[in-house]
Amino acid sequence: MKMRFFTGVLVTCSLLFVSGCATPQKAPPSAAQAPAPVVAEAPKQVPQDPALRITTAEVKALFAQEFGDKTLIKETLEKNTRFLLVDVRPKVRYEEGHVPGAISIPTPMLEANLDKLPKDRLVIFYCGGLACHLSPEAAEIAKKHGFTNIKVWYEGEPQWVKDGGYLITETPHLKRMFDAGDKEVFALIDSRPPLVHRKSFIPGSVSIPKVLFEQRKGLLPADKNTLLVFYCGGHHCELSHEGAVEAIKMGYTRVRVYSAGVPEWSKQNYALWGNEASGIVEAPKTAAPGALPEVISPEEFKKAVASGQVVLIDVRSEREFAAGHLPGAVCVPDGEFYKDLAATIAKLPTDKRVILYCATGARSAGAFFAVTDEPGAYKNPHGFQYLNKAISIAADGSFTIE
């Protein structure tokens, strides 16, 4: 039945066409008549209150006044007495990437967390840009509860990135990217010394130590829009932040720092690769009878510092050293151990016990193994060790070991 109907339709159409009664076909529209392409409207920007507005340039000026040229590690950020950045986006967005030093209080949760807002500092709310309503809403909630020293950074996180800033990413988001597999395209960069990377590293990361950045920067992706995530030895480690800054100078547009680094990744029992994870034990070096262990314990380190009878080598940068170092310490930045090892070894004394230290143990370990991996290059009968712990040093030389 269906076939007969279809045939009948064809016959009827044919007769109509022959008799000249067919419906005329419309000519295709000319270029001038072609419908205009549909252009998506830009999100409507939220109204701005001039009394509350703070610009990205003003935020960056606050950073410069408070931090100067210091690296934005946790220790530096915690000393901020001038202002507080509050990221009011959903927590998942904060974990993905937030401005250094910002805390997370999503707008719907602000009233329940007003005790986290200081009244002796400027409070700056920000979210996802000029079309995001969350930051002005948060400001209204704060005003309603008596807060007066507040600002809204309407441009927020997008403009911070556009103006050459990097973001901090948190462990949950990095783990989500790993779990997403091929759906997430990113490059993970280990900024620690190469010998430290070899022992243990986050899977898939490439070793581009800060001290060898110029030599190894060619390992970065050719596409400057690729997401880069730098990490090192934890919140007190500067290397990842410094690597991120170098990548931005090269033109990379999506740069983040996994500030928590290897310590937090390991604490969560997430997989690590490298010699330690693989069970590879390097052949022990021949040590003289009664030789001291390579790694000095925190207790022994404190005793050694108090005795004043050891040589302390601070392998951090000269800027870090100037901000605060242990009494009597000598600054020999770890980069020197890689640039000219023989010349650097020649600077190390042999008449006293020598102990290397840095901020987290990563740089001191790298420098230590750079020396000891050259058999016979440095002989010190009094001992040669390094501290493999995070250490915070005040301007007066006092310190705490974590």
Q: What is the pLDDT of residues 27-55, one digit of tens each?
A: 444 444 556 665 556 679 999 999 999 99
- Per-residue confidence at 195, pLDDT binned at 50, 70, 90? confident
Average pLDDT over residues 153-168: 98
Of 232, 171, 243, 199, give the one whose Cα is nearest residue 358.
232
Highest mean pLDDT range out of 182-196, 294-308, 366-380? 294-308
User: Which of 311, 330, 205 lies closest to 261 in space, CA to CA?
Assistant: 205
Rounded to an integer, what distance in angstroms lies between the CA atom of residue 315 and that of residue 363?
Answer: 7
Catalytic residue ranges: 127
Confirm whether pTM is higher than 0.85.
no
Question: How much of the chain exceeds pLDDT 70, in percent?
Answer: 87
- CA 261 to chain centroid, in Å, comes to 9
The pair phi, psi for residue 260, each rounded to 5°, is -65, -30
Query: Looking at residue 34, what is its pLDDT?
Result: 55
Which helix (DSSP H) or strand (DSSP E) does residue 229 occupy?
strand 227-231
Over the stretch 15-27, which tens digit does the pLDDT of each residue have?
A: 333 333 333 344 4
- pLDDT above 70: residue 191: yes
Q: Identify the pLDDT of residue 201.
A: 96
Q: Are 333 and 239 in contact (CB under 8 A)?
A: no
The candidate with the shortest Cα–Cα distance to 239, out of 171, 173, 335, 164, is 335
Give kind and range of the element (H or E) at residue 199: helix 194-199
Q: Which whole-number Å values give the CA distances from 87 to 60, 138, 183, in the listed order?
A: 16, 10, 27
- How does pLDDT run across 79-89, given as a tens digit for each residue? 999 999 999 99
How many other β-carbons are positioned within 10 Å of the β-carbon of residue 107? Answer: 22
Distance (Å, whole) CA 149 – CA 151 = 7
Q: Which of 148, 166, 149 is nearest to 157 (CA)?
A: 166
Superfamily of domain 167-273: Rhodanese-like domain (3.40.250.10)
3-state class of 256 per DSSP? strand
Q: Over range 211-222, report the average pLDDT.
A: 94
Residue ranges, CATH 3.40.250.10, the chain:
56-159, 167-273, 295-401
pLDDT in tens, 319-365: 899 989 999 999 999 989 988 899 999 999 999 999 999 998 888 98
216 CB-contact burial (10 Å; exposed 0-12 / middle 13-18 / buried 19+): middle
pLDDT confidence of residue 360: 86
The average confidence (pLDDT) of the chain is 88
The answer to whether residue 8 scores a pLDDT higher than 50 is no
Residue 76 is predicted with a pLDDT of 93
The confidence band for 284, taking pLDDT boundaries of 50, 70 and 90, is low
CA distances from 268 to 109, 197, 318 (A): 26, 19, 34
Strand spans (E) along 91-176 = 103-104, 122-126, 150-153, 167-168
Q: Which fold has domain 56-159?
A: Oxidized Rhodanese; domain 1 (3.40.250)
Indicate the pLDDT class of residue 402, thresholds 50, 70 and 90.
confident
The residue that leads in pLDDT, 282 or 82, is 82
Residue 159 phi, psi dihedral angles, 5° rounding: -75, -30
**Tokens at 231, concatenated:** 């990490």
The whole-angstrom separation of Cα 342 and Cα 348 is 10
Return the pLDDT at 183.
76
Q: How far apart are CA 151 and CA 117, in angstroms?
A: 13
Q: For 23-37, 167-181, 248-262, which range has the lowest pLDDT when averaged over its residues?
A: 23-37
Q: Tokens in use for 74?
A: 């946790």
CA 34 to chain CA centroid, Å, is 49
CATH fold for the domain made of 295-401: Oxidized Rhodanese; domain 1 (3.40.250)
